[in-house]
Amino acid sequence: MFESFNKNQKKEALYVSLYKHIKKMITEDKYKEGEKLPSKRKLAEVLQISPLTVEACYQQLIAEGYVYSIEKKGYYIDHKVELVKPLSQKRESKEIEKKIEHKYQYEFRTNVVDTSLFPNTVWAKLSREVLSENHHEMLNVTHPQGVLMLRKEIAKYLELYRGMKVNESQIIIGSGSSSLISLLIELLGRDKHYAIENPCYTKNYQLYKGNNVDLSLIALDESGIMINELEKSKAQIIHITPSHQFPMGIVMPIQRRIELLNWSNRLTGRYIIEDDYDSEFRYQG
């Protein structure tokens, strides 16, 4: 059975080639269930290879369930289970229509940016530096709240540009706003009454509804969310986009922001979720 085995090939380890050869004979039913394999020493002599190579081959066959061993007796072909192939079904192949991409002078889609404005050279340089200097930390398990160095830098940024005194222990880094909103719902509770701007980012609305929470839609005026409507809703938690309301583009003035903070401070258990999704974009200044 081993006449066709070629021990001189160089593509893979010798024990792997031998393992594949015996496995093929088992699957092709050349070895029957319960049949004994040659001993390690005997097979090594026949093939003129090391007994350690045969040992490694047999151990791989045992690990995958093709072979079992009995101490002081030898190696035997294990119980076989025939794979039942599913019934073939005739399916009509349909060509997928290619979406025609129209080019416009002005794009009003919200899911794209002008990549020509992105500082790609600087980004690539900094990425190489970070990967080179911190690859051990980045490729291993990090703190569940995110890399400490990054959280410290975010805390500095918030103090410098927002006047917020935030400790790095209060910062949680997530893979995106969707996962973080779901986490906030878990933390604050599904039994709370939530509110969101109307109109709003559809995906955020679907996230709240998908989490099965009591949700109110609050109307806007020229300054953003209407505080009197928020009061009427009896909501405890409000999700807002004050820096650049989506999709209306309203920038909430300081007077309305203070009114919103006053709403939050009037009763215990009220929270504001500020979705500051693109305030870093600057078109002038």
Per-residue model confidence as pLDDT tens digits over 106-118: 777 777 777 888 8
**122-138: pLDDT as tens digits:** 999 998 998 888 778 77
**158-211: pLDDT as tens digits:** 898 888 899 999 999 988 888 899 999 999 999 999 999 999 999 999 999 999
pLDDT at residue 285 tops 50: no
**244-255: pLDDT as tens digits:** 898 898 989 999
**254-269: pLDDT as tens digits:** 999 999 999 999 999 9
Q: Which domains are present in the chain?
A: 14-77 (1.10.10.10), 118-173 (no CATH), 176-274 (3.40.640.10)
| Full 3-state SS string of the chain | CCCCCCCCCCCCCHHHHHHHHHHHHHHCCCCCCCCECCCHHHHHHHHCCCHHHHHHHHHHHHHCCCEEEECCCEEEECCCCCCCCCCCCCCCCCCCCCCCCCCCCCCCCCCCCCHHHCCHHHHHHHHHHHHHHHHHHHCCCCCCCCCHHHHHHHHHHHHHHHCCCCCHHHCCCCCCHHHHHHHHHHHHCCCCEEEEEECCCHHHHHHHHHCCCEEEEEEEECCEECHHHHHHHCCCEEEECCCCCCCCCCCCCHHHHHHHHHHHHHCCCCEEEECCCCCCCCCCC
